[in-house]
Amino acid sequence: MDPFALYKISYGLYIISSLKGELLNGQIANTVTQVTAEPAQVTIALNKLNLTHEFVKESGVFTASILSQNAPMSLIGTFGFKSGRDVNKFEVLEYRIGETGAPILLESSVAFLEARVVSELDVGTHTIFVGEVINAQKLNDHEPLTYAYYHQIKGGKSPKNAPTYIKEEESTESSGEKYRCKICGYIYDPAVGDPDNGIAPGTAFSELPDDWKCPICNAAKSEFGQCGKYKCKICGYVYDPKVGDPDAGVTAVTVFNNVPDDWKCPICNATKTEFEKEE
Ligand SMILES: Cc1cc2nc3c(=O)[nH]c(=O)nc-3n(C[C@H](O)[C@H](O)[C@H](O)COP(=O)(O)O)c2cc1C
């Protein structure tokens, strides 16, 4: 099976929100689909580990805010890479409480809907919730954000909890210029830059201001590691981040900088310091 064939499926990006008592939470999802018109029903697929899953399952309600193309990466970072178990995602955002009692994110959204869960389907890692739409409203005429735009233009990534996650997506490119955030997996690509934060395409990682932060998870520059292969100067073994060193517990997609300091060359036992970047 070619997992990249699945990349050809089109999606939008949404904030799914729900509540538990007085607590509010929400998460990014790309899996909102309208499945019937009369009555209007939508499905969402939520990972069972997500706090939002717990809230939707218990409250039986959710809202979906349809994100705008100009939604900042920091918003996607907060809702897509952090859990409401660790942060209060709605603390500083513009939202309102809808008819269901669940929050509706208003900023960076072009429209929203509110739904009551009418059935659910266990699909392993995720639950598909079917919601009957009880309210919906258009907010403006901005372009909705598509999954393709998020990946291709904004340079965004998807975490493991996303149903569309493909491990290879985090693989590194042979170009030595790209850097990966070890917190969220975002790859800084000089060809793309970080236009949301005033970094023009063509800006090398080393030229980024010292106070530049990961546009997704806000991690410091020091949390980034250089993508690419590293070669052992002693025996010629090449460490490839795509492969890692599973025998030594280094999983695939680990950039060389993030390999533990006491890791040794699997061929000749040389230390990490004996490796040099392969051009
Ligand atoms: C682009 C993108 C798409 C995502 N799509 C989904 C999705 O459809 N379903 C899902 O369960 N998680 C999805 N996620 C992951 C959740 O948003 C993420 O795990 C979130 O941190 C869960 O937060 P919570 O624990 O506060 O609910 C996606 C994340 C991103 C960045």
pLDDT tens per residue, range 165-196? 765 444 433 334 788 887 787 888 888 889 88
Please report the sign of the dihedral spanned by the C-alpha atoms of residue 148, residue 149, residue 150, residue 156.
positive
CA nearest 86: which of 190, 272, 198, 218? Answer: 218
- Region 224-241: mean pLDDT is 85
CA dihedral 188, 72, 57, 96 (to 10 degrees): 170
What spacing in Å lies between the alpha carbon of 265 and ligand 1's midpoint? Answer: 36
Looking at the whole model, is its pTM more than 0.85? no
pLDDT at 77 over 80: yes
What spacing in Å lies between the alpha carbon of 194 and ligand 1's midpoint? Answer: 22
For 190-218, what is each residue's pLDDT tens digit?
888 898 889 888 888 988 999 999 998 88
What spacing in Å lies between the alpha carbon of 148 and ligand 1's midpoint? Answer: 16
Which of 7, 15, 30, 123 best tests ligand 1's pocket when mutated (most atoms within 8 Å of CB)? 30
Which residues have C-beta atoms less than 6 Å from ligand 1?
Answer: 13, 25, 27-31, 45-47, 50-52, 76, 79-84, 126, 150, 158-159, 161-163
For 134-153, what is each residue's pLDDT tens digit?
999 999 999 999 998 887 77
Alpha-carbon distance of 29 to 76, in angstroms, equals: 10
Return the percentage of the chain with pLDDT > 70, whole number: 94
Asked whether 188 and 156 are in contact (CB, 8 A), the reply is no
Asked whether 271 and 233 are in contact (CB, 8 A), the reply is no
Q: Residue 129's pLDDT is what?
A: 98
What spacing in Å lies between the alpha carbon of 268 and ligand 1's midpoint? Answer: 42
- Region 152-163: mean pLDDT is 74
Q: Residue 154's pLDDT is what?
A: 67
Q: What confidence tier does 116 reach under pLDDT thresholds 50, 70, 90?
A: very high
Atom number, ligand 1, closest to the C-alpha of residue 54 = 27
What spacing in Å lies between the alpha carbon of 184 and ligand 1's midpoint? Answer: 12
Q: Which pair of tokens denotes residue 59?
A: 């409250």
Q: Whose CA is nearest to atom 7 of ligand 1?
A: 29
Q: How distant is the alpha carbon of residue 77 from its chain centre?
A: 7
What spacing in Å lies between the alpha carbon of 80 and ligand 1's midpoint? Answer: 5
Asked whether 220 and 179 are in contact (CB, 8 A), the reply is no
Q: Whose CA is nearest to atom 14 of ligand 1?
A: 162
